Structure 1
Amino acid sequence: MSSHIHNTEQPKTARSRGVLDWIEWAGNKLPDPSILFMLLALTVVLLSAVGSAADWSVQPVKPQVVMETQRDAQGNALTDATGTVLQAPKKDAAGNIQIELVESGAPLEVKSLLTADGIYWMFSSMLRNFAQMPALPLIFVAMLGIGLAEKFGFFSALMRWLAFMTPRKLMTPAVVFLGANSSVASDAGYIILPPLAAALFLAVGRHPVAGLAAAFAGVAGGFGAGLFPTGGDGVLTGFAQDAARVIDPNYTVTILHNYYFKIVSAIAVTLGAWYVTDRIVEPRLLRLHGDELQSNETAAMSEMALKSNERKALVSALGVMVIVLGIFAALILPKGMPLHGDGKQTLANGRVLVQQAVDIQPKSTEVAVAAHDVLATDPMLITEKETPGRLVETPGTRWSQVIVPFILIVFLVPGLVYGYMTQQLKSQSDAVDAMYHGIRNIVPVLVILFFLSQFVNYFAYSHLDRMLAYLGGSLLFDANLPIPLLICLFVIVVIFGDFAMSGMLSKFGVLAPIFIPMFMMVGMSPELTTAAYRIGDSVVNIVTPLNSYLLIILAVFQKYRKGVGLGSLIALMIPYSIVLGIIWTGLLVAWYFTGLDLGPQAPLHYLPGSVTTAGD
């Protein structure tokens, strides 16, 4: 049918549709993300062997704040009470702290994975690589509650209720805003909101395809925005932190790293898509396809309306959610409460996890170190290096350290209430099965994470990650490009990357280990890089043929216009992609100039030697 459409029904767009078909064909030739990361891991193995044989090396450098002597009005050096000359960061004419690169340690050489030790390490570390992925517990725990709420229909009822109670004039921004926040329910927004929005628009005398387009723009184009932390935020957090620690072993990224920016982004996406829908898309649809308003959607609307028991259950579930939020606030705000102030996570025995650099030698080796520095003697002699250890879990505000368990509870409890009142929850097995539903949804992500974890750790073992970061970072530093330009360029890189690799998480797994360390060396924080990534990944979701949900949206589209193909859908959505890309990128650049944090403990700048993990 698609070929017939291209040749007869819309000949004027044959060339553009041919290009789109070529992109789709090329994208479909790429392997599945899990296979792709397996191949990338294999590539790292081979490169490590080649690099080792060719004696590749890179001189490590580290960014350092340029200091200058403080002087009085007469030019005399200032000293403290002990006579020490006072130093302060040197600033340029614009008032920015100056940073320079200095050599740090011996040159890095490639460590081959195709040696006896390398092969042993690959097999012995396979399970640990997967189990220690920061994203694994974050997304797993969050989806227990989110999946249950989705399974029992809490999210569906909430979306329908909000959409039906919205005035006609505010229908567009309401639909877009709902879509921009639907990512909290995984990918449920793709399935629920577009057909609902199309039916609602038709019911109030507006073009149904405009409703479909507005909903899709919110769900896909605003995927990286929203008022709530999501499971995807947890995965991005883990990747960003691992990448940042290539440069700064003590750097910590929290799950709320872009929270303030996400909230404002949801508003920006809503305003941008509102303008495109009401001023560009719908007038064109009414001019060219006004006859599509003649369809009768009474039956569909009645099916989507909330039934009496669903309405009562939704009100009760929302009331419970407010109570849960209130309890959480009561645990945070008053002084002396469990989640007030700063805290440090500990093990059950009161100890903390520390990573310590060690030397490993045969057991018979003699070493001249203190006895307490010998960690093990059988079967190898393992001693501590002089390098200080670092905490695995960095201290911070108590409430931010429990955000993932909070996400679990804030959706689990209302979801149970809704399921009970709609008689979907009749036994404990129903509750357990609903939690299984959330985990089933992330099984593909878990498979990807397994192979991604091997790729990331192979990259680190071979030293190629740090070598690439130091080399690229030095080039960027020497180029002296302004950070706003780097933000724009990275957004463009992500947009083009989405036409080669679909999936927010898998693509970030490839880009984060390369770009985050490089950008840190020129003063961009990992949180700022992640914010730019959200923009590029989101705005192209609505036009890339690699988005598997395009087929679902296309099915709804075909309900109102028989015979349309993928090219027509992409042409419909291109204005959204362009406008949202410009507005959202402009927002981040403007945000950069304000100097405001992107979220709690999420600065814009990376200043070496400063307490970036505390949000300074």
Structure 2
Amino acid sequence: MSTQTKNSKPSFFDKMLNRIEVAGNRLPDPIVLFAMIALIIVVISWLASIFKWSAVSPVDGETITVHNLLSKDGFIEMLTGMVKNFSDFPPLGAVLVIMLGVGLADESGYFKTMMKRAVVSTPKRIIIPMIILVGIIGNVAGDATQIVLPPLAATILMTFGFHPFVGLLAAYAATLGAFSANILIGMTDVLAAGFTEIGAQTVDPNFVGNAAMNYYFLAVSTIFLMIVATWVTYKFTIPRFGTYDGPQEAHEAITADEKRGLKFANISLIFLVLAILAMVIPESGWLRNPETGSIIQGSHLMNSIVPIVMIFFLVPGIFYGIGAKTIRSTKDFGGHLGRAMSTMGPYIALVFISAQMLAYFNSSNLGQIIAIKGAETLEGIGFKGIPLFVSFIFFVAFVNLLIGSASAKWAMLAPVFVPMFMYLGYHPAFTQMMYRIGDSITNPITPMFPYLVFILSYAQRIDKKVGLGTLIAGLFPYTIFFGVFWIILLIVWYLTGLPLGPGAPIYWNN
């Protein structure tokens, strides 16, 4: 068996990754981290008020001063606003609604069977791009894809004569390195848009984001990154690991019940698509803008995108469960939903703390002042355009090595960088897209994701001598080339001035 194992003497690359892992492990849990940041914001608001820190808004010329949260008014505001900060947190309701559909589709077994069918029924000549495509699109299923697909891909490729590490690494890199790319709208889109909206409303209180505002770019990125990942697999991964002559594991065949479940789910999807088209295509369609007839601007379609996405997961999940006999009664249905929603406990706890932190940051006016001062500094040194975009993406990619949670990072960064880029003339959707690229490309190599440990444990079942360095060395080319080519795609998109999604141009018009 020709795998490359970790050297007894650590290389420079191994030492660097070890330092990153140690530094990241020293960070507190995100809930505690947000609580610490909230406390720091309160103290800084007091200090900044003493020094009378202020900035002049380039939007209306108004002087913005710091609001001292340790004053009597500030203290009362924090205390009385605690519940409202939590209940009015924009992403909370949307994420919980989406999770009703995604969670049921996962619990019923729909996602797992769908991935098995897509991979198992694919010819050898296109098996690798199919695995990668399933990995990218499967991101919409959340953790299910990262856990199910890599071992499944390793087993499938083993039967085609490839080393199992090829499937393991290609699938893992696709699910995480291209994390934001998709042809479907999912929970990550809702989460990102919610935090972006909060940041943008410090400049424009009337700004309303939508989950589809990066959709055009991300849909193109899906095909683009599939090609890049396939090339990396054939260029680097397959030559690195060679052939495999060890014992092979048999992959599970799709059962008759699972086939029936997929049939029921696919029929329900067809009816759903037809129903949506019937409400969109006619000029008087229910989901169009009732005044202008637009399908995009101010339409009921865009305003209802969250419940529509939820329905597109919930209904097939139900019909799959009925066909596959994983839902035999209303108790099964309720149990699946309950278990799906029970996984949201840590997220809800995180939201409560982050909602307070963001409320304090906005109320203190620190975010606006930092954004204005930052924008003025960047304009003063002429740092705009492509160099600025690339620098921001690299910054996010580095932070991602230390903090794995995409929502945790964007909750901290959006209130500063969204308004900053707005003052520089860029639409919040463009800032969000840059963030999502940086947040994705280093996902495969960060030790902060628990999935890497899961992949390592599976790899050690195949080769006990394999270490973390072996996996990260195999995943590193995906990170490099995802980063290079995704940034190139963004630059081309920027230069052509194409919209990133519905109602989401490159530039911000004050």
Does TM-score exceed 0.5, indicating one fold?
yes
Question: What is the alpha-carbon distance in structure 1 between the residues aligned to residue 290 and residue 502 of structure 2?
Answer: 13
For 2:334, the equivalent position in structure 1 comes to 432
- Secondary structure of the residue aligned to 1:11 is coil
Q: Aligned residue for 1:305?
A: 253
Secondary structure of 1:246's counterpart equals coil
548-557 vs 157-166, which deviates more? 548-557
What's the counterpart of residue 474 of structure 1?
Answer: 376
Corresponding residue for residue 606 of structure 1 = 508
Pick closer, same or farther for the CA change 1:342–1:209 going to 2, 3 Å. Answer: farther
Task: Write the deviation string for residues 241-291 of structure 1: whole angstroms up to 9, x where unpaired.
Answer: 1111111222221110101111111111111110010111111211xxx3x
Q: Which residue, out of 248, 258, 277, partners 1:296? A: 248
Equivalent in the alignment of 1:274: 230
The aligned counterpart of 2:156 is 200
Give yes or no for contact 2:6–2:467 (8 Å, CA) kept in 1: no
Percent of pairs with identical residues: 35
The change in CA–CA distance for 1:319 and 1:293 in structure 2 (over 3 A counts) is: farther
Partner of 1:588: 490
Structure 1: gaps of 5 or more residues: 1-7, 63-102, 345-393, 609-616
Q: Is the 8 A contact 1:469 1:517 kept in 2?
A: yes
CA distance in 1: counterparts of 2:274 and 2:20, whole angstroms:
49
Aligned to 1:25: 22
Q: Secondary structure of 1:61's match?
A: coil
1:16 Cα deviation from its structure 2 partner: 3.2
Matches within 5 A, 1:228-239: 228-239=184-195
CA deviation after TM superposition for structure 1 residue 327, in Å: 0.5
The match for 1:261 is: 217
Alpha-carbon distance in 2 for matches of 1:24, 1:451:
25
Pick aligned residue for 1:130 from 86, 90, 96: 86
| Alpha-carbon distance between aligned partners in 2 of 1:155 and 1:15, rounded to the nearest angstrom | 40
How far off is 1:60 after superposition?
2.2
The structural deviation recorded for 1:439 is 1.6
Question: Does the CA contact (< 8 Å) of 2:178 and 2:440 recur in 1?
Answer: yes
Counterpart for residue 104 of structure 1: 61
**Matched residue type, 1:253:** G
- Give the drift of 1:478: 2.5
1:429-458 deviations in Å (ceiling 9; x for gaps) = 211121123222222222111111111110
Cross-structure match for 1:41: 38
Deviations 1:446-483 (A, max 9, x none): 21111111111101111111111111111122233342
Please identify which structure carries the higher strand content: 1
Residue 322 of structure 2 is aligned with which of 411, 420, 431? Answer: 420
- The answer as to whether partners of 2:402 and 2:446 remain within 8 angstroms in 1 is no
Which shifted more, 438-447 or 593-602? 438-447
Q: 1:122 to 1:9 in 2, by over 3 A?
A: closer
Residue in structure 2 matched with residue 221 of structure 1 by the alignment: 177
Question: Secondary structure at 2:444's aligned position in 1?
Answer: coil
Q: How far, CA to CA, are the matches of 1:522 and 1:108 in structure 2?
A: 18
Aligned counterpart in structure 2 of residue 564 of structure 1, from 440, 449, 466: 466
Deviation at 1:130, TM superposition (A): 0.8
1:577 matched residue in structure 2: 479
Q: CA deviation at 1:9?
A: 6.2
Shift of 1:58: 1.9
Residues of 2 paired with 1:342 and 1:479: CA distance?
47
Alignment of 1:90-489 (within 5 A): 104-105=61-62, 107-286=63-242, 290=243, 292-297=244-249, 300-301=250-251, 304-342=252-290, 396-489=298-391
Shift of 1:14: 4.6
Q: Is the 8 A contact 1:483 1:524 kept in 2?
A: no
CA contact (8 A) 1:208 1:293 kept: no
Q: Distance in 2 between matches of 1:500 and 1:124?
A: 34
Larger CA Rg, structure 1 vs 2: 1
Structure having the larger proportion of residues in helix: 2
Cα distance in 2, alignment partners of residues 293 and 534 from structure 1: 40
1:135–1:235: 8 Å Cα contact kept in structure 2?
Answer: yes
1:404 maps to a residue whose letter is: V
- The secondary structure found in structure 2 opposite 1:490 is helix
1:342 Cα shift?
4.8
C-alpha separation between the residues in 2 aligned to 1:437 and 1:267? 34
Q: Deviations over 1:325-378 (max 9, x none)?
A: 11111111112121123569xxxxxxxxxxxxxxxxxxxxxxxxxxxxxxxxxx
How many Å separate the matches in 2 of 1:293 and 1:401?
55
TM-score after normalising by structure 1:
0.80
Q: Find the aligned partners of 1:407 and 1:432 in 2 and give their Cα distance.
A: 20
Distance 2:289 2:238 in 1: 50
TM-score norm. by structure 2 comes to 0.96
Give the number of aligned pairs. Answer: 504
Q: Is residue 378–residue 384 contact of structure 2 (8 Å, CA) maintained in 1?
A: no
The answer on whether the counterparts of 1:175 and 1:197 sit within 8 Å (CA) in structure 2 is yes
